[in-house]
Structure 1
């Protein structure tokens, strides 16, 4: 597996920052810190070049009501998200890029010069689609023991009366608008109801409606419980 030196990590992070941060006289340059054994941090994000896992802190934000998002920034749409975090979308995007996840625009129709939908979808190569898919795990401490579940298991489908199907999450990558990285300014990190501004979107059924999705109260800990979110390769076993 290709390994990155700390210098390469830092250079790549700075280049991405210049591309993705909001326009400012002195844009903040995120620093990638090497921890050893292939592990790195950037902000509150920790990532591992060997396992290709990305972890960051969050908390339980909602245990009832309709969900459009699985994870948002604390300054984002917290009224409709299962989890919220203080983690930067930019930092997550840098980690995803460094670990060679590839963004895929397959869920969204191509726009014309007036930014109107053409009704046509991009032709994305299968290899790129595969490289865009990942699983998301959520863990927390309860009664002295670690609990870990797929993010899908924490979301309930009120029509099927079952947890969300075990479909993958697609790294779509958000977009830049008026010199701003939209996921950073909107706080949209992981969307159930597919959203262009979000870093990741749900790939399964009913991802174009918010009506059936609610928190799975049978599993979730109380509101405010600290959790660790982990993005992991799709084929990795829990």
Structure 2
């Protein structure tokens, strides 16, 4: 496992595979939102913790980016990614349980078997070159809160914004701390004192990229508000 984000495959392999204009293009569509909704719904059914659901979303995005097309069997790939993510995040769910729950949860889709889920997991891993470690914005948000830069209520709002970000491509084209600060700034937009506290931290990072992240999160909120 990489000691830190800057030495990780997430930065060196995945982030580096996007051009400098990635943030200037749309980062979500109906399909990306639907994938995240499927992951949240089935992940909750499996009682997989939220961070593992987020990891599953990132792994699926990496796979789609690697193969350049979306899988035809969405439910099967969502199932396999959640199964894999539960192991990556050290909250494993037995494949027997995953299979049984998937059959009940998606009765009209392809009936997954243990072997089919395992084969799909192996297929995903091969296209990811087994790079499955995911760094998330959550630790940065927790650090900001521990340093008393934001309130508990602002932390909760920012946390929700980070959760929503997994319906976008931001986890592939932004550093985790950029998403965290974008969410924190939005969460305390009406609190001048909190913004003042955050200012020294913002001087150390690319404000243009933070602003772009905020714009994408705002656009997503508008899209979700219409649905």
Structure with a larger share of its residues in helix: 2
